[in-house]
Amino acid sequence: MLLQIDVNSEEALYTQLANQIRYGIARGYLQPDDPLPSVRNLASELGINMHTVSKAYNKLKEEGIIIINRSKGVRISSKVFADRKTGYETILEEKIRQLVSQSICNGIGEKRFLGVVENVFKKMRSGE
Amino acid sequence: MLLQIDVNSEEALYTQLANQIRYGIARGYLQPDDPLPSVRNLASELGINMHTVSKAYNKLKEEGIIIINRSKGVRISSKVFADRKTGYETILEEKIRQLVSQSICNGIGEKRFLGVVENVFKKMRSGE
DNA sequence: ATAGCTGTTATATTATACATAGAACAACAA
DNA sequence: TTGTTGTTCTATGTATAATATAACAGCTAT
């Protein structure tokens, strides 16, 4: 799978990387048990530092999305789609509350907001 | 309207403050042309620095949500609910894409995601 | 065994963002 | 004139992000 980074983005590099991997999983480009490149190889491909890749991997590891094994490498967790109920829905609701507040202040109401969400899901199912 | 800040949160103070004001507008607790406290007064109430409040206010000003007038003070924009079409929907879609990716990786599908969104709107209409 | 690959750990440096503090300024109101 | 408004300036301390080397421990294949 193609991963790319925008060094001019305001978003932190390791966050961009983690997002891209989650996105790849959500679209089905990355599947359970699929291997990921080593920290050194991916860093080299992207032209960034090894530790930055390592930081992204460890963030995903904490979320239970990938499995890191010293000497075996990194792979997508076989239970990646399982409902791990780690209180994620509470975090999600708070983030959505912020997005909804901001949307209302920008003239975007419930119908239009739901339309954007459905559109994102549709694109995701069709693989972009 | 009551504004409060959690100094132990990972979220930056000025971001929390901006979020609370947007949230207050979305719920109707703050209405167009309503005045906001001065940077010094609000900072004093919240126990934080004047410049932190100023930073939050300027962020909202850039979003077209509030009007800042040197010597007259700060108030909610009369056009706060207008569709300013400043490309906000593009930003919204990208943020939703990230949230949806993460949700899928946590076992939350489209139905459940839409349910959370609808629930947030419902709470917002009923005023919390 | 040795060479090569894994992720990890440690130390160090640079840059940026966040939050604070105090002071002074210009615009307006009472 | 006095007081309030937001703004600007300088300064400091802390935290995070990203980089760079270097070494380490676990495993695999030659």
Burial of B61 (0-12, 13-18, 19+ CB in 10 A): middle
Interface test with B, best of A117, A122, A125 (most B CBs within 10 A): A117
* Closest approach of B107 to chain A, Cα-based (Å): 4
Distance of CA A113 to the CA centre of its chain: 21
B23 Cβ contact partners less than 8 Å away, ≥ 6 residues apart = A97, A98, A101
> CA–CA separation, B83 vs A115, rounded Å?
16
Contact yes or no for B88 and A96 at CB 8 A:
no
Q: Which CATH number fits domain A13-76: 2.40.50.100, 3.40.30.10, 1.10.10.10, 1.10.1040.10?
A: 1.10.10.10
Domain positions in chain A: 13-76, 88-125
Residue B42 has what pLDDT? 98
Residue B84 has what pLDDT? 81
Walk along chain A (128 residues) and give the pLDDT tens digit of each residue: 789 999 999 999 999 999 999 999 999 999 999 999 999 999 999 999 999 999 999 999 999 999 999 989 999 999 999 988 778 999 999 999 999 999 999 999 999 999 999 999 999 999 77
Gap from A2 CA to C9 C1', in Å? Answer: 30
AA identity, residue B124? M
Query: Residues of A with CB below 8 A from B120's CB?
Result: 93, 96-97, 100
Residue A44 has what pLDDT? 96
Distance of CA B100 to the CA centre of its chain: 21
| A 13-52, residues with C-beta < 7 Å of strand C | 36, 38-41, 50-51
CA–CA distances in Å: residue B31 to residues A21, A105, B36, B75? 41, 11, 11, 9
